[in-house]
Amino acid sequence: MACLLFAAGAASGADSDLVNERFTTSGEDMEAHWAIDCSATVAALTEPGAQGAGQRRAELADALRKCGFIYQPPGADTVDHCPDYNRLLQALEKDDTSALDKSLKQAPACATTLH
């Protein structure tokens, strides 16, 4: 019985490393997979009414969440990313127009691909 428990524990330990594996793929491939365009999402935030309540705001928040996962994955070293999708998402969710505007003003200074 003890051997079975040890074997089960050893097997689960080996598999737990696989859970945290991240496949090597480009950001563009991941954007295509999720049918999002991170650059267009940032640009859409500057459109009149895009930050207001409603379906469009929910779509933008969902896209920002995915962009953050793609380009600023959880557990990665904290680095300045341009644009900072996670900061944009937080500002949008908190309805912090000052923080959102500040992050959006920095976005045009990013590389043309915004990644």
Q: Kindly tell me if the per-residue pLDDT of 19 is higher than 70.
A: no
Residue 6 is predicted with a pLDDT of 47
95 contact partners, CB below 8 Å, separation of at least 6: 51
Task: Tell me the C-alpha distance between 72 and 115, whole Å.
Answer: 10
Peptide bond between residue 83 and the one before it cis (omega within 30 degrees of 0): yes
Task: Tell me the C-alpha distance between 1 and 66, whole Å.
Answer: 45
Task: Tell me the C-alpha distance between 38 and 81, whole Å.
Answer: 13
Mean local confidence (pLDDT), 19-26: 66
φ/ψ of residue 58, rounded to 5 = -65, -40
In this predicted model, which residue has the larger pLDDT, 52 or 8? 52
User: Six-digit token pair at 103?
Assistant: 């992050």
Residue 78 is predicted with a pLDDT of 56
pLDDT tens per residue, range 26-55: 889 999 999 999 999 999 998 887 777 677
Q: Kindly tell me if the per-residue pLDDT of 22 is higher than 50.
A: yes
pLDDT tens per residue, range 53-108: 677 889 999 999 999 998 887 776 555 667 889 999 999 999 898 999 988 888 77
